[in-house]
Amino acid sequence: MRYIHKQLCLVVVIAGFIFPVTGFAQASSVIVGFHHQPGEAEQELIQRAGGTVKRIYHLIPAVVAVVPDQAIAGLLDDPAVAYVEEDKTVVSIEPEYTHLARDFFAADDAEYGNTWGVLRIGSQEAHERGITGREVKLAIVDTGIDYYHEDLDENYRGGYDFVYDDNDPFDDSWNSHGTHIAGIIGAEANGTGVVGVAPEVSLYALKALDGSGFGSLDSIIASIQWAVDNDMDVLNISIAGIESQVLEAACNAAYEAGLLIVAAAGNTFGGEAAFPGAYTSVVAVASTDEADQIGIFSPLAPQVELAAPGLGIWSSALQGGYIEASGTSQSAAHVSGAAALVISSGAADVDSDGISRNHEVRQKLQTTAVDLGNAGRDEQYGYGLVDVAAATVTAPASTHIRLERKSRWYGNLETVALEGGQYQITIDNDSLNAVIILVLENHRMRKDLAETVLFANPWGDAPQQASIELDASAGALEVIMIPLGRVGAFADVVVSVQE
């Protein structure tokens, strides 16, 4: 943190912070983190330092306060204080280019034609199966939403304005940033304009950025806290944030509370991923074009988790209009909508308890993504291009396979994918001599999980049974079963999810 003044008589350096001490009572907005949830004693500590508490967080143990610069060193010395961080300015990730509105045909098919990204990730197929994001609560941290827009008015459910501290998070931005993101996620299928990835999702606006696209670290963290307090399922963030201890703590706490956070990976042109997308508790999304090529402005970073359409994306704009824009913000919106569809479908509810948990949804999006670029996860596409059509298919509780030794070797292999839970593979042998089990994780062989099951006297009267347990809760597994024995010998295999 650096405070700059025209007149300095002394500079104090503590724990990497630079604090000027002058004869002037200049104050700054800071976030003070504590080792435990702040109460009256912590507020009094701020007041004794000459500061004023502006907001008390309960998602994380911290407060926002205006504190005299010369008092910050004393706060850092207090054993109750974990850190003091400047309440820095953040900015929206601006589109790389925008085009003004054009006329659209008022026809159902044209809605999909106007939104190539929605088509490309398989959303229409999910919609045709009745999966539309209904009753899923999705909040957008941005410049607000034009909730009068005919493509958004039925899905808008409310929110909060942390810029002006009121209940009216209307989009007053110069480039319709928040409204454009909202349309990609949840524009209604009403026969006009565009259609969103999740056309019946419940949209909430958390206005953390002003009309010029600027906001504060405090407004972002307060928005994240609001999302947790109001039981949001998904949170979409598109900011070019800074690496921040308090922002990371807020994202981690929200993820632990069950919130799925999706963020733009940043328009860094092959550079590092932007924050908060770079945090492990957040899904960072890169951009692709209509040919599935990575956008030139996307980052090249190990934190990239998924890719989605982000070039030439038409969506809603202020005053009932439509604009075309490109950027990783537009890509993140596609993934946020995809997450809403996965939750709506119940496809990520592996244990069938009626709850699609954030880590289950995240894993479902990872394991069903179309692998692009280098095999497996890479720094351009992450796990690959999000595939809503595949991610919203509910896997059966158990899979039955007839494993038969055939005359041609390549016809013998049987493959099954396991994800998001504990599995049991039960082999009821009829006449095989053995079954070889190979297991791959992210296209790489797991030698420690490979196994050869031998059957004694396979032609005996009583069927022989073997059972294998595999844990796919931490990552998807691909199981390959190879039968050994005479041609025509077989075994019945049941792959089941364990409660």
Find the CATH number of the domain harbouring 58: 3.30.70.80
pTM over 0.85: no
pLDDT value for 442: 75
Looking at the domain assignment, is residue 1 inside a domain? no
Burial 142-159 (b: 16+ CB within 10 A, else e): bbbbbbebebbeebbeeb
In the chain, the largest separation of any two C-alpha atoms, in whole Å, equals 97
330 & 377 share domain = yes
Backbone angles phi, psi at 210, to 5 degrees: -80, -175
Tell me the pLDDT tens digit for each residue of 32-74. Answer: 999 999 999 999 999 999 999 999 999 999 999 999 999 999 9
CATH number of the domain bearing residue 113: 3.40.50.200
Looking at the domain assignment, is residue 319 inside a domain? yes
Tell me the pLDDT tens digit for each residue of 286-301. Answer: 999 999 999 999 999 9
Cis peptide before 276 (omega within 30 of 0): yes
Tokens of 65: 């306060």
User: Which of 348, 371, 391 lies at the terminal end of a domain, its last residue?
Assistant: 391
Tokens of 324: 């075309």
Q: Are 234 and 133 in contact (CB under 8 A)?
A: no
CATH number of the domain bearing residue 402: 2.60.120.380
| Domain coverage including residue 454 | 398-497
Looking at the domain assignment, is residue 417 inside a domain? yes
Catalytic pick from 329, 336, 356, 431? 329
191 & 76 share domain = no
**Residue 447 neighbours by CB under 8 Å, 6+ apart:** none
Looking at the domain assignment, is residue 5 inside a domain? no
Q: Are 53 and 41 in contact (CB under 8 A)?
A: no
pLDDT value for 3: 34
367 & 415 share domain = no
356 & 408 share domain = no
354 & 435 share domain = no
How many folded domains does the chain comprise?
3
Higher pLDDT, 103 or 116: 116
pLDDT value for 270: 95
pLDDT value for 98: 62
462 & 351 share domain = no
Looking at the domain assignment, is residue 410 inside a domain? yes
User: Which of 336, 364, 391 lies at the terminal end of a domain, its last residue?
Assistant: 391
266 & 312 share domain = yes
User: Which of 391, 408, 425 lies at the terminal end of a domain, its last residue?
Assistant: 391
DSSP 68-97: EGGGHHHHHHSTTEEEEEE--EEEB---S-
Tell me the pLDDT tens digit for each residue of 449-480. Answer: 999 999 876 655 556 889 999 998 777 888 99
Catalytic pick from 127, 149, 177, 180? 177
Is residue 142 among the annotated active site residues?
Answer: yes
226 & 268 share domain = yes
pLDDT value for 78: 96
Looking at the domain assignment, is residue 93 inside a domain? no
316 & 209 share domain = yes
369 & 488 share domain = no
* Cα atoms in the Cβ-side hemisphere of radius 13 Å centred on 33: 18
142 & 80 share domain = no
Q: Rounded distance, CA 327 to CA 94, Å?
A: 7
Tell me the pLDDT tens digit for each residue of 257-270. Answer: 999 999 999 999 99
**Number of residues in the chain:** 499
**Number of C-beta neighbours around residue 269 at 10 A:** 12
User: What is the rounded average pLDDT of the residues 117-134?
Assistant: 96
Looking at the domain assignment, is residue 310 inside a domain? yes
Looking at the domain assignment, is residue 278 inside a domain? yes
Catalytic pick from 87, 92, 127, 142? 142
Strands 322-325 and 313-316: antiparallel
pLDDT at 374 over 50: yes
pLDDT value for 23: 40
Tokens of 390: 């595949």
pLDDT value for 419: 78
Tell me the pLDDT tens digit for each residue of 328-350. Answer: 999 999 999 999 999 999 988 87
375 & 420 share domain = no
CA distances (Å), origin 122, targets 110, 195, 203, 424: 16, 13, 21, 31
